[in-house]
Structure 1
């Protein structure tokens, strides 16, 4: 590919400032009007109908200045028919971002088709990575994101493992499992070297399909491929085991992880705590939270406490749950809305008015507001307790 060309502006031509780009347009008495655009955008668009030479940098600055993303379509049309049209990567990125904000993906396809034939500018992998993310997240077009990945070589650009793995993970998260392995099989054709991240994503895919035996076989392939397993490898496989209730097997992996001298991080412990909670083994979960993690030099995070808190509430051990809430707040963590809801409704059923008051006050302090269904249970509890006025005064103070 030919490297990005220099500006075609003659040496005697002065490059106007950004101010002059706007002011020269606004001073023209014959500036055309553009429907559905505000005054500022109309001034910017009219600049593209002047005969003054526009550099690609100026065109990029102008499109970034548009206040209405939809105006980018008109700008694209006006610029593309000019003799100085020069779709460099910065301009195209700005244009694509604006069009995506306006949900105008048809013109993006038009732009991409035109870029295949022009030889003047080169486009890096970052350009296509941004484009893939826009199609995946903004347009919800997974098929288009996959198509762009396969078309990158046609533009003289090849995907790195980062872009390849992003699309691979995208396919797993959208449950397009057949497409996952088809893409993996195409890695050599795309010039992508398989790394540990790629295999971790495949293990995640197999676990989601309940193919644990296949996941373990792939797990054992790491050293054969000259790759090292990492925390993500173990936590992904542990999560798959815990989803199937195989918590003991997940703990065996923890010991294997330690023997390989791989750092056991908070994510791994959270997976185990969640697995224990799912099995109803909340006392073991508390032990991991309060003892095992600290013994391994790992500090619990908000999610660690939250899993234990949910488990205690599910087992109606409200007194212990309250202690966890107070400990979380003291550490600067925010117990979830559902945690407070579960505690308050539990206290309501047991007729513990003072605890209900504590729960509502704490909930409000965290920025949550009880909803109508919860208020009905609170009022019912207060009425049954025959201490309505006193209780309401205490609750409504906050």
Structure 2
């Protein structure tokens, strides 16, 4: 379990800037190209914040950044600001010098020389979570913000940490962080609750996910289409398609319009249970609701038809997709070819083969064997001509 997040009672750290980096970096001075900017740093002339930024923006490599930062910290006009800290941290992140970032954050905490915004900490947390894979440190920063940096996190930063934990499947920690929202001054919003629903569904805990759905009005929030779609997906994953369809009715009652993703989830769930006819009906229902199907909608129904060996209907749907500038998948064409070969339906096979090539797909060796065997079973000059055209092209 991650460390206990207690702000009070910690001893304050008062380390100088140079000392904080001395343990982590070699004392060897890195080679830095001579420039006017570095000359100004070594000179006694007072430096403006923009001049300091220009000096650091021209540096290459973490050694140069750390060396110049130590040098700048010894000047009488040393006055770092958020822009400088952000620039340095981003430079260190690009070179994957994450230990150096941790050292810098400790120094910033100890020196407390400037006020930092939530955007600054959001950037640091994002680097820790997405680039460094140091989720524990991302959580530390979240809880250190009000205690040591005098900055309260926004709900945007709070939700980013929650989503980070869900993506890492640290579901137990998600609840711990969520319960800390009041201590962090966070007012829960719909996005926050949606992240909880997502995490619970991915963890297979649908009962708790629906409990969160009931929490929306208690938190003065309203569930949106993403809330219901996530729950539907969780239900379909457990084969509870009837409950998922019932949730669609609840959406309509609560005035939440279903989108294409919502219908696609239900169509996919019906297909997995072999209920392709109902999937086709849902496809038509989408259009009546003013929600036009996309290629994923059609593809799920197409797979369902192919799974049930309804090749003629599958060909009609594929024709409709092509008419609407949607290309059936390679697997769809492959199954259609095998299906029509097994049924010795040469005319249909000819159509599939032509359109497969027009969509940019080329039959593989095994498929060619089946096609040739079908052709040789009779005097099929039509498809023989199509094969010749493909080979010659």
- Contact 2:327–2:359 at 8 Å: present in 1 too? no
- Any idea what SS the aligned residue of 1:189 has? helix
2:334 matched to 1:344?
A: yes
Q: TM-score, normalised by structure 2?
A: 0.77
Q: Which residue of 2 aligns with 1:270?
A: 264
Q: Which residue of 1 aligns with 2:370?
A: 381
Q: Deviation at 1:395?
A: 2.7
Structure 2 CA distance for partners of 1:318 and 1:121, relative to 1, 3 Å: farther
Structure 2 CA distance for partners of 1:334 and 1:88, relative to 1, 3 Å: farther
2:65 matched to 1:75?
A: yes
Q: Deviation at 1:63?
A: 4.2
Q: Which residue of 2 aligns with 1:286?
A: 280
| 2-structure distance, mates of 1:312, 1:75 | 61
* CA displacement 1:121-166 (0-9 Å, x = unmatched): 2111111112212222212222222222122222111111111112
* CA displacement 1:226-261 (0-9 Å, x = unmatched): 322222222221111111111111111111211111
2:199 matched to 1:205?
A: yes
- Contact 1:266–1:300 at 8 Å: present in 2 too? yes
- Contact 2:37–2:54 at 8 Å: present in 1 too? no
Residues paired across the two proteins, number: 348
Q: TM-score, normalised by structure 1?
A: 0.76
Matches within 5 A, 1:144-223: 144-153=137-146, 154-223=148-217
Q: Which residue of 2 aligns with 1:244?
A: 238
* CA displacement 1:184-206 (0-9 Å, x = unmatched): 12111111112222222222222
Q: Deviation at 1:326?
A: 4.2
Q: Which residue of 2 aligns with 1:308?
A: 301
Q: Deviation at 1:117?
A: 2.3
Question: Which of 260, 270, 276 lines up with 2:254 in the alignment?
Answer: 260
Matches within 5 A, 1:47-196: 50-51=42-43, 53-64=46-57, 71-82=61-72, 83=75, 84-153=77-146, 154-196=148-190
Cα root mean square deviation, aligned: 3.0
- Contact 1:196–1:222 at 8 Å: present in 2 too? yes
Structure 2 CA distance for partners of 1:201 and 1:114, relative to 1, 3 Å: same
| 2-structure distance, mates of 1:114, 1:297 | 57
Q: Deviation at 1:287?
A: 1.6
- Which runs of 5 or more structure 2 residues have no equivalent in the other structure? 1-28
- Which runs of 5 or more structure 1 residues have no equivalent in the other structure? 1-32
Structure 2 CA distance for partners of 1:292 and 1:64, relative to 1, 3 Å: farther
